[in-house]
Structure 1
Amino acid sequence: MTALPKTLAAPARRALDRAGLTTLEKLAKLSEPDVAALHGMGPNAMSALKDAMKKHDLKFVQPSS
């Protein structure tokens, strides 16, 4: 399991922790809009998460319509 980036700001880290999203693999089971909607997630945090996921060949699932 791959840890979240250490560069995430505290509000984003708390939001992910509250949601039980403690690894990049867990994030990859959700859609980007779902993660972005968490209270405390901003554009910088989302960018850092996407960059980290890309480095580990992971990506968010496509949102269901």
Structure 2
Amino acid sequence: MKQESKTIETGFPKGIGKPATRALEAAGYTQLEELTSIREKELLKLHGVGPKAVGILRVALEEKGRSFMS
């Protein structure tokens, strides 16, 4: 149950890790859907966001019928 509330609080899947979550929030992203306005390549430039986190975010977006900017 704690995992679900954490996902709701941050708006991001818990599996991306705390460094990635902090990096996204520092860049002004607080909800998963906001990531549709950025390219994967740009996310990878954020300190703390790596390929694993981007992959988890990609899957989470796809589950909602969304994707990163092309």
The TM-score range, normalised by the shorter chain, is: 0.7 to 0.9
Matched position secondary structure for 1:7: helix
Count of aligned residue pairs for this structure pair? 61
> Which is bigger in relative contact order (C-alpha 8 A, separation at least 6)?
1
Runs (4+) of structure 1 exceeding 6 A deviation are none
How far 1:54 sits from its partner (Å)?
0.5
Instruction: Give the TM-score taking structure 2 as reference length.
Output: 0.79
Kindly state the Cα deviation for residue 21 of structure 1 after the two structures are TM-superposed.
0.8
Give the TM-score taking structure 1 as reference length: 0.84
**Unaligned 5+ residue runs, structure 2?**
1-7
Larger proportion of helix: 2
RMSD: 1.3
Q: Aligned residues: percent identity? A: 38
Q: Which position in structure 2 is the counterpart of 1:51?
A: 59
